[in-house]
Amino acid sequence: MSVLRHRIFLQIIADALRDLRSIRARAVLALIGVAIGTAAVIAMLHVGYNAKIAALRQFETLGVDLLAIFPSAGEPGSGQTMTLDAVLALPATQIGIGKVAAVVQSGVQLRAGRDNIPVTVLAATKDLYGLTKARLKEGRFPTDIDGFAPYAAIGVGIAATFEASAGKSIAVGDTIVASGQILTVIGLLQPAEPNVILNVDLDNAIVMPFLSARRFVSSPAITNVAARLSPGADDIKTAARVQTYFEQHMHGGSVNVQTARQIIRSLESQMRIYALLLLGIGTVSLVVGGVGVMNVMLMSVMERRQEIGLRRALGARRRDIRLMFLTEAFCLSLVGSVAGVAIGYVGGWFFAIGAGWRFEPAPTAIPLGLAMAFLVGLFFGIYPASRAARLDPIVALRAG
């Protein structure tokens, strides 16, 4: 019995494909509509998935155990709100902080030939290099031991800009002039990714010892603090403890603590919203294609009334007629969805390559494509199929 049913089902599929070939022009138009809708959904799915992967890969490179502390000023005239001693004492408090670095960011004008180039100076304590995974091309890092010495490490972006403007490259041992201050270059940094967590871009910065900030700012104030969680520390609890700690050790003002894991959670939440939005846009396109499928099937029912009547007269039941037209609608949707999945893959790949990402197929793309084919075929095919099944066989046979 099961073998017979299997053969009947295969015959129904074969008949459906033959009937679709007989209405080739209308079928192609419906296929194009379904393919475009499916391609839009699949391409957008790939784009969202690869954007998420690229962002998470960057966080993994920078470190998911990082956190940044940004002080805000207190009342006007209250002076420095965060002290260096309070920052450097954080690891000893055992509240979840392993390493910490205080940073004073300031903008200066770097003299390059006849040009003045606006650059960022990072006056930082020694642990900044480990926290940002900075690497040297040659020379050494400025450290706390250098005190007020006018020593600097140069990022590759600044070195390239300087060479383009001055016509010569920067080498270890050279002197440069920044806002009237003569600095000795003791290190050249290797390329590094901008650290969006710590708000540090080493490629486009001059790094100096923390105390050297006074060369550019008369009353330097800590602008941000880079830190790393202790192994096993909870980022949310640690952030709350850090805020409480600085409330007790700051002279007015407050701090904003931002952790890498919080950013990742926020990113994932935004990606879910983005994915739902894209899915909604793609669904609208798919509905348009589904309407085309329904139109093709309704026209097919009208043109094949005599065939339907003959099948009913020969013993076909209403459910057999319904299954026949549903199968045709499903086959039409399936072919369109398969084509749309292929186009969506190509579109997602092109977008990822253009954005500089490594393309990774979204794992839900193929299952979603097949599911869309089934839903479109069922939803937009059930009305024409039911209409065909309800035809009176005598009236259908008389139809000319």
Which of 54-63, 156-165, 304-313 reaches the highest mean pLDDT?
156-165
Per-residue model confidence as pLDDT tens digits over 349-388: 888 888 777 888 888 877 877 777 777 777 777 877 777 7
Q: How far apart are CA 141 and CA 155, in angstroms?
A: 11
CA trace torsion 61, 62, 65, 66 (10° rounding): -170
Please say whether the beta carbons of 186 and 153 come within 8 A: yes
Please say whether the beta carbons of 259 and 233 come within 8 A: no
Question: What are the residues whose beta carbons fall under 8 Å from the beta carbon of 305, sequence distance 6 or more?
Answer: 391, 395, 396, 399
Kindly tell me the burial class for residue 145, based on how many C-beta atoms sit within 10 Å of its own C-beta (0-12, 13-18, 19 or more): exposed
Q: Which of 263, 254, 255 is nearest to 236 (CA)?
A: 263
Which of 126-140, 325-339, 356-370 reaches the highest mean pLDDT?
126-140
pLDDT at 399 > cutoff 70: no
The phi, psi pair for 275, rounded to 5°, reads -65, -40
Q: How far apart are CA 258 and CA 242, in angstroms?
A: 11
Nearest-5° angle of CA 140, CA 145, CA 148? Answer: 100
Q: How far apart are CA 40 and CA 265, in angstroms?
A: 27
pLDDT of residue 80: 52
pTM, two decimal places: 0.65
pLDDT at 196 > cutoff 50: yes
Question: What are the residues whose beta carbons fall under 8 Å from the beta carbon of 333, sequence distance 6 or more?
Answer: 34, 290, 293, 372, 373, 374, 376, 377, 380, 381
Q: What is the mean pLDDT of residues 158-167?
A: 90
Per-residue model confidence as pLDDT tens digits over 200-244: 889 999 999 999 998 888 888 889 999 999 988 888 899 899 988
Of 71-75, 209-213, 319-323, minimum mean pLDDT range: 71-75
Kindly tell me the burial class for residue 396, based on how many C-beta atoms sit within 10 Å of its own C-beta (0-12, 13-18, 19 or more): buried
pLDDT of residue 6: 54
Q: What is the mean pLDDT of residues 73-88?
A: 68
Of residues 242 and 24, which shows the higher confidence score? 242
Parallel, antiparallel, or unpaired for β 151-154 and 181-189? parallel
pLDDT grade for 77, boundaries at 50, 70 and 90 = very low
Per-residue model confidence as pLDDT tens digits over 297-313: 777 777 777 777 777 77
Beta bridge partners of 200: 195
Of residues 210 and 266, which shows the higher confidence score? 210
Percent of the chain with pLDDT over 90: 19
106: helix, strand or coil: strand
